[in-house]
């Protein structure tokens, strides 16, 4: 028996090519449906951060274009997922004023957060004679003289998600926590030690 040959090799190649493309599309469709089903079952949610308090040990904006500051911030993070764990591989905390960084970055040790767990960190963030843009320096000095300064406590990091034995790749994490600090007679803080003032904030942070 002779082998059956295709009378038109071009048509045969096109048929094979179409079948390969169809197979690839079906495979991609199956993968997408699987991912959608997993997402619908697990319903992943971002961690929730709260800035609980800020203790100000030093804040000196009297030198033009330079700022010396020292804060201790208490941050809590809650994992709202009941089937997903979170690896915090890197978390850097720092303070900004009008989008300009005014302290050095402080690293929080890597940690794992289980289902529904809450983690609390109290890192120090500080900067000694940090250069400030002239327009921001003048505004900062004016705000402090007026008795209040609005800062943003920021966290930049990388996280991984854990579902059963599966661990995802790393994702960027950006957390922004508003902190309203008052000085002088208008201060609503509590004196801690000789010079530090602690401000109970309990402010919800934005997470992306």
- Residue 148, domain CATH: 2.60.40
Give the integer Cα–Cα distance in Å for 162 and 66: 44
Domain range enclosing 155: 48-207
Of residues 137 and 192, more confidently modeled: 137
Assigned domain for 43 exists: no
Does a structural domain hold residue 84? yes
Report the number of distinct structural domains present in the chain.
Answer: 1
How confident is the model over 100-114, as pLDDT tens digits? 999 999 999 999 999
- Rounded CA-CA distance 116/30 in Å is 31
Inform me whether the pLDDT recorded for 6 exceeds 80. Answer: no
Q: Is residue 144 part of a domain?
A: yes
* Alpha carbons 149 and 181: distance in angstroms, whole number: 5
| Residue 126 placed within a domain | yes
Q: Does residue 24 lie within any of the structural domains?
A: no
pTM for the predicted model, two decimal places:
0.78
Q: Which helix (H) or strand (E) holds 56?
A: strand 48-60
4 has pLDDT over 60? no
Structural domain contains residue 5: no
**7: in domain:** no
The answer to whether residue 102 sits within a structural domain is: yes
Q: What is the model's pLDDT at position 184? A: 65
């Amino acid at each position: 028996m002779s082998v059956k040959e295709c009378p038109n090799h071009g048509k045969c190649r096109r048929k094979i090519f179409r079948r390969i493309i169809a197979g690839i599309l079906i495979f991609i469709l199956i993968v997408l449906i699987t991912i959608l089903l997993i997402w619908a079952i697990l319903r992943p949610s971002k961690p929730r951060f709260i800035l609980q308090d800020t203790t100000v040990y030093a804040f000196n904006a009297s030198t033009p274009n330079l700022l010396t500051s020292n804060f201790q911030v208490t941050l809590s993070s809650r994992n709202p997922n009941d089937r997903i764990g979170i690896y915090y591989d890197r978390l850097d905390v720092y303070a900004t004023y009008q989008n300009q960084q005014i302290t050095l970055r402080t690293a929080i040790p890597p940690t794992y957060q289980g289902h529904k767990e809450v983690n609390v960190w109290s890192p120090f963030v500080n900067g000694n004679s940090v250069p400030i843009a002239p327009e921001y320096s003048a505004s900062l000095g004016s705000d402090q003289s007026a008795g209040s300064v609005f800062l943003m406590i920021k966290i930049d990091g990388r996280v991984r998600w854990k579902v059963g034995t599966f661990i995802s790749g790393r994702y960027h994490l950006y957390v922004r926590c508003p902190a309203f600090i008052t000085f002088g007679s208008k201060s609503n803080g509590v004196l801690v030690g000789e010079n530090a003032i602690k401000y109970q904030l309990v402010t919800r942070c934005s997470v992306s």
